Chain A
Amino acid sequence: DGGITQSPKYLFRKEGQNVTLSCEQNLNHDAMYWYRQDPGQGLRLIYYSQIVNDFQKGDIAEGYSVSREKKESFPLTVTSAQKNPTAFYLCASSKTAGAAYNEQFFGPGTRLTVL
């Protein structure tokens, strides 16, 4: 079945450590996105990528980094510079970026807790 997988579902990290969240899609979509969800704040865009080897900052990119070496994969690294990383992280993809009619498909999310 086509879809988006994110791993792990739950992740615990000690303060000061970097951690990488995985996102893989087999939908053959060009565009991929990372969102952060906090209670009462909806979804906020961290980074997005329109094509392989290209990515752009979203509204809250500070303290995060990404790579897009393969079309199927868009991993997100939460660095120690991110001051409040505890949140629910959602990965999404769409056929293309910049076309407002394309819905985004979402993965099941990773809940990151910093201890």
Chain B
Amino acid sequence: AQKVTQAQTEISVVEKEDVTLDCVYETRDTTYYLFWYKQPPSGELVFLIRRNSFDEQNEISGRYSWNFQKSTSSFNFTITASQVVDSAVYFCALPTGNQFYFGTGTSLTVIP
């Protein structure tokens, strides 16, 4: 069965601190993709990154970085030097067949 777990419900950090959002997944597929989305207060989900199971290299995009480890079934997301605009709900997702399975999300609040 496909499952995505985001154990951190809410996180608060002070601006400029680093923060890591955890994502643990379960899948029976041998090849698969993982996604991260951001949902700002406006409500619309914004695509951040896609990673396939063949590529375990860390990905960095500006202040964002992702650590994918198949051995622990984790796909964690780190924001470096957080900013108030990073305040949002972040979702990890695992597609299979015709469906995306989303985690329950982590609500991040960055305090100025």
Contacts and interface: CB of A to CB of B under 8 A. Distances in A.
Contact of B47 (A33, A100, A101, A103): A103
Contact of A45 (B32, B91, B100): B100
Contacts of B99: 45, 48, 58
A48 B98 contact: yes
B50 A108 contact: no
Given A45-B100, A100-B96, A107 B44 contact: yes
B105 A100 contact: no
B45 A98 contact: no
A109 B104 contact: no
Is chain B's interface secondary structure helix, strand, loop, or mixed overall? strand
Interface residues of B, number: 24
A101 B98 contact: no
B105 A42 contact: yes
A99 to B, nearest CB: 8
A58 B91 CA distance: 19
5 contacts: A40-B9, A42-B104, A43-B100, A105-B47, A109-B44
